[in-house]
């Protein structure tokens, strides 16, 4: 009786694992979208958006996006941006406050060089920060729950 019970349990466990696993199509789709490297892609996107939003200059932003295609990412638009944009609201405010607080702190001959925004410095600090790492850990759960990446991308960037 024991061998039959053991066989039944092993068969049931194997079927459960097979059913709960990721389909072949989803594995292939994840591979094509660099699913295993999504954490780095998320952080890279946060850096790009931080720079664009930190500049707070529509003309410069449009020019950067036009000439540097690393700032355009359909997956990021669909999956990452809403979360990153929430974080960046406070980060952009910090950049603005730093800029405001730098005015009048330096001698007149250095003020034109030292006063104003430090967008890249702030954005690279954010890129290396625990704040962003914590956000990546939170987003990991929702990223793994996406069952069809193309459907998610098409929600934000529809094809005609």
Structure tokens at 135: 């956000």
User: Domain residues of the chain, as ranges?
Assistant: 37-156
CB atoms within 10 A of CB 154: 13
* Structure confidence by residue, pLDDT tens digits, 78-134: 788 889 999 999 999 998 887 776 565 555 544 444 445 788 999 999 999 999 999
Name the more confident of 38 and 58: 58
Q: Which residue has the tokens 């072949």?
A: 24
Token pair recorded at residue 118 = 């430090």
Stretch among 2-11, 28-37, 51-60, 102-111 having the lowest mean pLDDT: 102-111
Pairwise CA distance, residues 111 & 105, whole Å: 8
Does the pTM surpass 0.85? The reply is no
């Amino acid at each position: 009786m024991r061998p039959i019970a053991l066989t039944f349990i092993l068969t049931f466990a194997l079927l459960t694992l097979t059913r709960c696993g990721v389909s072949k199509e989803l594995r292939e789709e994840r591979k094509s979208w660099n699913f295993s490297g999504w954490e780095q892609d998320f952080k890279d996107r946060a850096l790009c958006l931080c720079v664009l939003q930190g500049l707070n200059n529509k003309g410069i932003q449009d020019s950067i996006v036009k000439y540097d295609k690393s700032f355009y990412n359909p997956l990021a638009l669909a999956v990452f941006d809403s979360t990153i944009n929430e974080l960046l609201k406070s980060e952009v405010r910090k950049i603005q406050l730093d800029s405001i607080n730098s005015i009048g702190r330096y001698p007149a001959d250095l003020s034109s060089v030292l006063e104003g925004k430090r967008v890249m410095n702030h954005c690279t600090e954010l890129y290396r920060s625990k704040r962003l790492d914590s956000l990546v850990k939170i987003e990991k759960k929702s990223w793994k729950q996406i069952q069809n990446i193309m459907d998610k991308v098409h929600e934000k960037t529809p094809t005609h």
